[in-house]
Amino acid sequence: MSAPTFNDKVAIVTGGGSGIGRAACQRLGIEGARVVVADIDLPGAERTVELIAARGGQAVAVRVDIANEADNQTMFDLAERRFGGIDAVFLNAGMIQPYGPLETLETDVFDRIIAVNLRGTYLGVQQARARLRPGGSCVVTASLSGVIGFAEAPAYSVSKHGLVGLVRSSAAAFAARGARINALCPGMVLTGMTGNGGLEAIEEPDAIGDPTYRGALTAQQIAEVALFLLGRRSAGINGQAQNVDAALLSAFPPLAEML
């Protein structure tokens, strides 16, 4: 058997207290990484650390509001001070807006969504660019809403389109430092954001079932792609936005039951 993929590596995961981020933290821990679990919800992050420790992994929880520049710096400082350097950064934290069309969108809601999802992730990208060790990788969680418009969540969709642009525009700067950056664009995922919070179970990666064609995915099905992009096996991929959506966007028209 080959050694765990992230042996001797250090990872930072934002939004690590729930959903996709928690699943990624758990899988990184199992693969040998030492993990900084960052979340605005500290008890959630601490629970993730417990789950990692229960499988023999090493992790530390930190309360971070990604919209805050100093918090982003603190999170990277902690990783360097505690674990000696940074190899993998998963900038995954984000928030959804109250659903409603553009006509009902209030400017302060727009501002908040952009401040967290787009500007907050940008602050993390700048830290990752400056501080990843050579061979390192940054992955940003965008969304299918960053690939096509989402009329019921226009501010969210703008923020996620921005993230795809940020990743594509940052690939050169990361390459100049011997690192990479890519985006994930999940479809519908069963997490707190979609009313399926509190999930903790992790399966053996080779035993994960397939999602329904164009149906919802599990957090772990997204996290496995994040680990691939964070690790050395994806060394040839930089500046890309990868849909992970069980083919939801691959064909038109939509399924009859979606109309």
Q: Which is nearer to ligand NAD, 86 or 219 (CB)?
A: 219
Query: In the beta sheet, which residues pair with residue 91?
Result: 140
Min dist CB 221 to ligand NAD, Å, is 11
Q: Does 67 bind ligand NAD (CB under 6 A)?
A: yes
Please state, in angstroms and rounded to a whole number, the distance separating the CA atoms of residues 119 and 98: 19
The least distance separating ligand NAD from the CB of residue 156, rounded to whole angstroms, comes to 7
167 binds ligand NAD (CB under 6 A): no
Helix (H) or strand (E) holding 218: strand 217-218
Please give the Cα distance from 194 to 250 (Å, whole number).
22
Region near ligand NAD per CB under 6 A, out of 9-17, 79-87, 204-212, 229-237: 9-17
Q: How many helices (H) and strands (E) does the chain have?
A: 7, 9
Q: Which of 64, 88, 225, 248 binds ligand NAD (CB under 6 A)?
A: 64
99 is catalytic: no
| Exposed/middle/buried for residue 223 (C-beta within 10 Å: 0-12, 13-18, 19+) | buried
The active-site residue, picked from 99, 122, 156, 213, is 156
CA-wise closest residue to 93 among 113, 110, 107: 113
Binding flag, residue 41, ligand NAD (CB under 6 A): yes
Q: How far is the CB of 45 from ligand NAD (least distance, A)?
A: 8
223 near ligand NAD (CB under 6 A): no
16 closest CA partner among 8, 7, 27, 6: 27
Binding site for ligand NAD (CB under 6 A): 14-15, 17-21, 39-41, 44, 64-67, 92-95, 116, 120, 141, 143, 186, 188-189, 191-194, 197, 219
